[in-house]
Structure 1
Amino acid sequence: MMPTLRHARPVASKLPRPGKTVAVENVRPDKEEGVQVKRSPSSPQGGVKKRSAFGDLTNAHKNIHPQKKKDGQKVAVKKTKNASQSGTAKNNELNLKKTLKTITAEELVSEVVKEERLITEETSPPKVCLEQLLPPDVEDIDQDSEDPFSSSEYALDIFSYMREREEKFVLPNYIEMQDDITKEMRSILIDWMVEVQENFELNHETLYLSVKMVDHYLAATVAMREKLQLIGSTAVLIASKFEERCPPCLDDFLYICDDAYRREELVAMEMEILQKLNFDINIPIPYRFLRRYAKCAHANMETLTLARYICELTLQEYDFVQESASKMAASCLLLALKMKCLGGWTATLQYYSGHSANDLIPLVKRLNFLLTEQANSKLTAVRNKYSHKVFFQVAKLPPLDLLMLDTVLTKEQ
C-alpha cells in the first residue's frame, strides 16, 4: 500500500452499478478540487487559446465562429492518437485561412515602430560629436572608451558636478574660534594621520577626505586638545567606510591611539562628526582632480607622483585649507611640469580645469616656497613616504630657484 501524498485531497467518484464493468482511470494525486483542468483539443470548449505578447490588438478572433453541430448529427470521435492530431491540424488550417486577410498584432506593432522612427528622424536634430563642440586647440581626452574605470561617457559631467560642489565646502578661518587648538597642533595631527594611512595601506582618497572632515568639523564646533587625536582617528574611520573596500575595524583605531580612548567615545565622536557635517561627506578633494589633469597633460607616473607629493604637503599647512580642490590640483601639476621641464599650461588643461595660467601663478609660487621650507621641517611623514623607490624618490628633487621660477612662469602669461 502506497503512502498518502501530502497536500492531496480525496477525489469523490461514483460507485459502479452492479453487473457493469467500469474502466479504472488513473487518478492524479496532485489534482486538487477547484483547480482548472487543462483542456484537450478534442474537448467541447476547444484547445488552449494562444495569445500574443501585447494581447488581442485586432478583431481577428471575432471573425472565427465555431462550427455548430447539426441536430441529430453525431460526431464520430476516434480514440487513436493520430486521429486527434489530424483533426487539430485541420482546425488550425481553417483558422489560418480565415485570418490571412487580417493584420496580426506583430505586423501592427512593427508598422507603429516604423512610423515613430520616421517621425523621430524628421523632427530630432542631427547628432553632434563632442569633438565638434570643443575649441580647435582642445583635445578630447574622453574619447577612449576601452578603459571601463575611466567612465569616459560621464567623466565630463562628474567633474563639472564636483566643481559646483566646491562652492558648498569653502572653509572659513576657523582657527580663530579655537581657544585650545593651534596651527601647529593641527599639523602634528595631520602628520600622524599620514602615518596611519601608510601603515593601514589605505587609499590616498581616504587620507584627503579624512583631513577635509577634520577641518569642517573644527569649523563647526570648538574642540579641546585632548580630543584632537580622537577627532582625527574617527575621521579616518569614517573616510575608510566611504572609500575603502575593506575598511579597518574599530579596534584597530583604538589600538593606534594607544588605548587612549574607549570604544564608546569613538562611536559617540563618529555620530557627532556626521551630525555636524549633515551626513554630507562627499567633499571634493584635489587628489581626484589631479589624476584627471595629469591625463590632460599626458604626464607619466613620475610626474604625477611629484604633483601628488606637493599636494600632500599642503595637507599639513593650515594656510592652504581655504584653497579650492580643483585649483590646488591644477597648481601642483603646473609646478611639477615646470620642475620636470615638460612644458606649460596648455589649452586642453585650461579647458578641463577651468583655470588659466594667470590664476595659478600666485599659488604655484607659494607651493614652490613650501618645498623649500619642508627641507627644515620637523614633520617628516610625507617627506619620508615619498622618498621611497615606490614613489620614484620625488621628495629628493630640489625645488626650483625663485628667479628661475619667475622666468618660466612669465612665459605662461
Structure 2
Amino acid sequence: MEEQLLCCEVDSIRRAHQDVNLLNERVLRTMLKAEENYLPAPNYFKCVQKDIAPNMRKILATWMLEVCEEQKCEEEVFPLAMNYLDRFLSVEPTRKSRLQLLGATCMFLASKMKETVPLTAEKLCIYTDNSVQPGELLQMELLVLSKLKWDLASVTPHDFIEHFLSKLTIHASTKQILRKHAQTFVALCATDVNFIASPPSMVAAGSVVAAVQGLYLKSQDASLSSQNLTNFLSQVIRSDPDCLRSCQEQIESLLESSLRQAQQHGSVTEAKRVDEEVDLSCTPTDVRDINI
C-alpha cells in the first residue's frame, strides 16, 4: 500500500490524451462556422503595411519555425503564432524593425495557449540575439492582445486534422505517420503568404490528401485514392472538390520548391563549413552557440 501511494517526480511532462468525445459532427460544424472569424486580411501587404513585404514575412516565419522546433514546442504553437501575426498585421501598420519583436511575441502568446510549460520571455529574447528585451516583449504582448481583442482561441488547421483522420479506416500506426506528415504540411503552409487567406479546414484537408499521396497509402485502400479522398473531404468541409484539389497541388508544389531550396542551402552550408575548417584557429566562437 505504501508503495502504491508513493509519488515520484518525473522529468517528462504528462499530457492529457485526446478526448474522442470531441471528434463528433457537432464540434466539426462549430469549427467550420467559427474559422471565418479568425482569417486575416489577404491583402494586408497592400492595404495596411507600407514597410513590410511578403519576403520579410517568409524570413520571419522560417526563424519562428526554427525556434519552435528547437524548443520542441507542440505542433499547434507555430501555426497559431502565425495566425496571430497575420491578424495583427491585418489591422496595425508595423515597422520592419519591429517585425522580429512581433514574431517573438506571437510565439510567446501561442506557447501560453498550447504548452504545458510555455516559452519564457527571456528565452525568446535570447533567440533574437538579445536585440529584443523582455520588457519590450511584454509591452508588445499587451498591444497584440489589444489588437486581437483578446480573442486567442483561433481555429487552425491542426484542429481539423484529427477530425479527418478519425473518418479514415486505416491502422493506428499508419494514422500516426499520416498525422505527422500532415502536420508538417500545415507548418509549411503557414510560412507561405499564398495560404494566408485559405480557410484552416481547406489547408488541413489539402495537407491530409497530400500526405496520403506522398506516403502511397492509396495502394492500400481504394477509398484513399486522390479523387475519392478529395471528394470525401470536400463534402466534410463543404467545399468544391476542385478547390480542394487545387489546394493540394499548391501544397505539393510548395513542398517541392522548399526541398530544392533546402538542398541548395545545404550545399552552400557544407561549402562554408569546409572553408572554415581550413584554419579553425581563425574562426571565432559563434555567438549563437553561446546564446543557445
The residue that corresponds to 1:235 in the other structure is 106
Q: SS of the residue aligned with 2:210?
A: helix
The residue that corresponds to 2:55 in the other structure is 184
Name the CA distance, whole Å, in 2 between partners of 1:193 and 1:290: 22
Conserved in 2, the CA contact under 8 Å of 1:210 and 1:236?
yes
Conserved in 1, the CA contact under 8 Å of 2:40 and 2:83?
no
Which letter maps to 2:138? V
The residue that corresponds to 1:163 in the other structure is 32
The residue that corresponds to 2:244 in the other structure is 360
Greater gyration radius: 1
Distance 1:379 1:165, change over 3 A: farther
Conserved in 1, the CA contact under 8 Å of 2:61 and 2:82?
yes
The residue that corresponds to 2:45 in the other structure is 175
The residue that corresponds to 1:312 in the other structure is 187
Name the CA distance, whole Å, in 2 between partners of 1:324 and 1:380: 32
* Mapping for residues 69-88 of structure 1, pairs under 5 Å: none
Name the CA distance, whole Å, in 2 between partners of 1:309 and 1:254: 26
Q: SS of the residue aligned with 2:59?
A: helix
Deviation at 1:159, TM superposition (A): 2.3
Which letter maps to 1:274? L
Conserved in 1, the CA contact under 8 Å of 2:210 and 2:252?
yes
* Mapping for residues 136-155 of structure 1, pairs under 5 Å: 149-152=18-21, 155=24
Conserved in 2, the CA contact under 8 Å of 1:307 and 1:333?
yes
Name the CA distance, whole Å, in 2 between partners of 1:332 and 1:225: 31
Name the CA distance, whole Å, in 2 between partners of 1:207 and 1:225: 20
* Mapping for residues 2-401 of structure 1, pairs under 5 Å: 149-152=18-21, 155-172=24-41, 173-176=43-46, 177-299=48-170, 300=174, 301-339=176-214, 340-342=216-218, 343-344=224-225, 345-346=228-229, 349-355=233-239, 357-377=241-261
Which letter maps to 1:328? V
Distance 1:180 1:200, change over 3 A: same
Q: SS of the residue aligned with 1:377?
A: helix
The residue that corresponds to 1:52 in the other structure is none
User: Alpha carbon RMSD of aligned pairs, Å?
Assistant: 2.4
Q: SS of the residue aligned with 1:204?
A: coil
Gaps of 5+ in 2: 1-15, 219-223, 266-292
Q: SS of the residue aligned with 2:78?
A: helix
Distance 1:295 1:202, change over 3 A: same
Name the CA distance, whole Å, in 2 between partners of 1:379 and 1:263: 36
Q: SS of the residue aligned with 1:152?
A: helix
Q: SS of the residue aligned with 2:167?
A: helix
Conserved in 1, the CA contact under 8 Å of 2:45 and 2:53?
yes
- TM-score w.r.t. the length of structure 1 is 0.53
Q: SS of the residue aligned with 1:260?
A: coil
Deviation at 1:281, TM superposition (A): 0.9
Distance 1:179 1:348, change over 3 A: closer
Deviation at 1:244, TM superposition (A): 0.9
Name the CA distance, whole Å, in 1 between partners of 2:251 and 2:70: 27
- After TM superposition, the structure 1 stretch with the greater mean CA deviation from structure 2, 350-359 or 273-282, is 350-359
Distance 1:337 1:197, change over 3 A: same
Name the CA distance, whole Å, in 2 between partners of 1:305 and 1:154: 18
The residue that corresponds to 2:286 in the other structure is none
Which letter maps to 1:199? E
Q: Which has the higher helix share?
A: 2
Deviation at 1:348, TM superposition (A): 5.9
Deviation at 1:312, TM superposition (A): 1.6
Which letter maps to 1:229? Q
Deviation at 1:309, TM superposition (A): 2.1
Conserved in 2, the CA contact under 8 Å of 1:191 and 1:380?
no
Residues 369-406 of structure 1 deviation map (CA, whole Å, 9 limit, x = unaligned):
2122112326999xxxxxxxxxxxxxxxxxxxxxxxxx
Which aligned segments of 4 or more residues in structure 1 are displaced greater than 6 angstroms? Answer: none
Name the CA distance, whole Å, in 2 between partners of 1:356 and 1:222: 35
Instruction: Compare relative contact order (CA 8 Å, sep 6+) and give the higher one, 1 or 2.
Output: 2
Conserved in 2, the CA contact under 8 Å of 1:297 and 1:349?
no
Deviation at 1:263, TM superposition (A): 2.3
Name the CA distance, whole Å, in 1 between partners of 2:93 and 2:56: 14
Conserved in 2, the CA contact under 8 Å of 1:311 and 1:332?
yes
Gaps of 5+ in 1: 1-146, 382-413
Conserved in 2, the CA contact under 8 Å of 1:296 and 1:349?
no
Distance 1:219 1:378, change over 3 A: farther
